[in-house]
Chains A and B, each alone.
Chain A
Amino acid sequence: MSAVTVSGVSVAYNGLRAVADVDLGVGPGEWVALIGPNGSGKSSLLRAVAGTVEYEGDILFDGVDRRVVGRRQAARQVALVPQHPFLPVGMRSGEYVLLGRNPHMGYWAMEKVDDLRVSMQALQRLSAEDLAHRFLGSLSGGERQRVVLARAIAQEASVLLLDEPTTGLDIGHQQQVLDLVEDLRREKGIAVLSALHDLTLAAQYADRLALLDGGRLVAEGEKSQILTAEQLARFSGARVSVVRGPEGQIVVIPRRAQRA
């Protein structure tokens, strides 16, 4: 059974359709990357799965509708790393990671030793335990992304949603973040659904790709089927060459326009 099943999901903002009738499934330990041009509905689809926007259709976790289980229970099954997380500058990283334990606590409850342990382990898992006492406002881009990821890990969800997790990071830190996600899904069988605009990285890390255009799912499947120059020209309006790298990996190279 899929860890998350999206079935006939549509999202609209004030009548404006952002996601239209999308069907998609992600199995345990699988990584599916959403690709597509800006405004194609990648973020909106992720927000629907995370339960932060209204949607039509059904979203199931392990076969159970997220509307049935309720918000807190759903947050135990799915964690979201937003594209632009809001980090209160005066909050310490350790406290921030602890927020990820909220779905495991009662409404009035305070965190227990167990919550502190899981949060600290999440930071250790990302080699970020030294950041625990640092204020969020003092972190570098790479450190911020690790702390945000640690919060999601502390949530102990079986589905991880990543909205452009490499935004604003240099190549080394991009790889570091994606490698961490890769390790997690292998270790814990976490299902990963991510929006990734870097097609070469998407091809390297994801098992399957889903191409969105105008809110519709226009193609889905093996990366070699999705990442073709014709497909990308048609939907992203991009001029690219798709070639093979030294180890046979798919590489998408942008080409500049030919001017006379």
Chain B
Amino acid sequence: MGEPASMGRLKSPLRLWQLLAGFALVTGALLLGTMIGPVSISPAAVLQEILGRLPFVSVDSGLDDRMAAIIWDIRLPRVLLGGLVGATLAAAGGAYQGVFRNPLADPYLLGVAAGAGLGATLVITAGGSVDAVVPIAAFVGAVLAVALTYLLGAAAGGRRTGVTLILAGVAVAAFFTAAQTFVQQQNGDTVREVYSWILGRLSTAGWSEVVLLAPYAAAAILVLLMHRRLLDVLSVGEEEAEALGVNTGCMRLTVVAAASLGTAAAVAVSGLIGFVGIVVPHTVRLMAGSSYRAILPLSVLGGAAFLVLADVVARTALSPTEIPIGVVTAFVGGPFFAVVLRTSGRRT
């Protein structure tokens, strides 16, 4: 039995071609998202325009200032925001599913959505419709809600299993949602504004949202990706993982904190975009196997591509009216996931 030959059988759960395909998908989606709009721009012009801005590259796209401004001030910030939000939500969803060993876990599991909703509603109804304040209030609300969930779960003795934490999340979410509904009812005139925030949207005013989200998204995704092997160890259960030397309590806290912080930042700039965090990781799981070493990196890429493409549909399907992107993700994602589920013979 030659050793190299037999070692070849322990293949990495993540293949290079899968990673390359993921990158190609994201690049294609970003390009498509930048081209398409009320004024279409050719892919060559978009590429030349972007390359032309790089140092030491002199390419002239031939676009006039107005077109260049459409690319740089409107389209690019929007597609990049979509990509960042999608990548963060998909990575957070996949990580939650791993850390709680629960396929139904989504990024909003521990009360992030309800907390952000209350924070945003409070600011919007207070008449401070300063757009810059809403994301910050939503972010603070989301982080507070998750922290409360964690404290409640830990106080109830939830160190051994994640179930107590999930139940605490249910309680906190119910409480914050009730508070949010109450505030909203008391201020009927702003219902429309609050509602549109809750449905999720990717509208940008220049680069400010991208700049706000980017550091949180990058940090969260990095920390989650670094836990991909440990999430595989955890998949044999809490007790066996501990016998294998994993401090499961500490690991769960780190993963939950990273995923929640990333989700909170994403929700703060884009509202509640459902479905991405649950459909993307499961689609990856069905196509690439159950190892988190494949699920997490491919979910980051798949989530980015999915949300950018969903945004293209949201902008163009009923142009000039925009469909809320949360509606599109569910409308497109639902049937797509059903197809994947049917065609995949592999069990999760």
Q: Which residues of A contact B (CB under 8 A)?
A: 47, 50-52, 71-76, 79-80, 82, 85-92, 94-96, 98-100, 102-103, 105, 107-111, 113, 116-117, 119-120, 124, 129, 132-133, 137, 155
Nearest-neighbour CB distance to chain A for B195, whole angstroms, equals: 40
Return chain B residues, CB-CB under 8 Å to A74.
Answer: 245
Bound: A73/B247 CA distance, A = 12
Q: How far is the CB of A118 from chain B (nearest CB, A)?
A: 11
Contact check: which of B1, B243, B347 meets A51 at CB < 8 Å?
Answer: B243
Contact call A52/B347, Cβ cutoff below 8 A = no
Q: Looking across the interface, which residue of chain B has its beta carbon closest to that of A90?
A: B290
Given contacts A91-B235, A124-B1, contact A110 B229 (CB under 8 A): yes
Are B245 and A75 within 8 A (Cβ)? yes
Find out whether the CB atom of A99 lies under 8 angstroms from the CB atom of B244. yes
A75 contacts B9, CB within 8 Å?
A: no
- A132→B9 contact, CB < 8 A: yes
The answer to whether A80 and B9 touch across the interface, beta carbons within 8 angstroms, is no
Give A78's nearest chain B residue, CB to CB.
B243
Number of A-B contacts (CB under 8 A): 101
Whether B347 lies near A88 (C-beta < 8 A) is no
**B242 x A51 contact (CB < 8 A):** yes
> How near does chain A come to B240, taking the closest CB pair, in angstroms?
6
Instruction: Provide 20 A-B residue pairs closer than 8 Å at the C-beta atoms, listed in order of the A residue.
Output: A72-B245, A72-B247, A80-B243, A85-B236, A90-B285, A90-B289, A94-B10, A108-B226, A109-B229, A110-B293, A111-B229, A117-B3, A117-B7, A124-B1, A124-B6, A129-B1, A129-B9, A132-B10, A133-B9, A155-B244
Given A133-B9, A137-B347, 16 other A-B residues pairs in contact with their CB atoms under 8 A: A50-B243, A52-B242, A52-B243, A76-B245, A85-B240, A87-B236, A89-B347, A89-B348, A90-B290, A91-B235, A99-B233, A100-B244, A102-B246, A103-B244, A113-B7, A117-B7
The residues of B that contact A94 with a CB separation of less than 8 Å are 9-11
B346 contacts partner chain A, Cβ-Cβ < 8 Å: yes
Complex interface residues of chain B between 189 and 244 (CB less than 8 A to chain A): 226, 229-230, 232-233, 235-237, 239-240, 242-244
B6 touches A71 (CB 8 A): no
The smallest C-beta distance from B254 to any residue of chain A, in angstroms, reads: 10
From A73, A76, A95, contact of B291 by CB (8 A): A95
Cβ distance B92 to chain A, nearest Cβ, rounded Å:
19
- The smallest C-beta distance from A49 to any residue of chain B, in angstroms, reads 10
Interface pair B347/A90, CB less than 8 Å apart:
yes
Q: Give B229-273 as 1s and 0s: 1 = Cβ < 8 Å from A's Cβ atoms.
A: 110110111011011111100000000000000000000000000
Complex contacts, A92 vs chain B, CB 8 Å:
13, 289
Q: Which of B232, B240, B347 has the most CB of A within 10 A?
A: B240
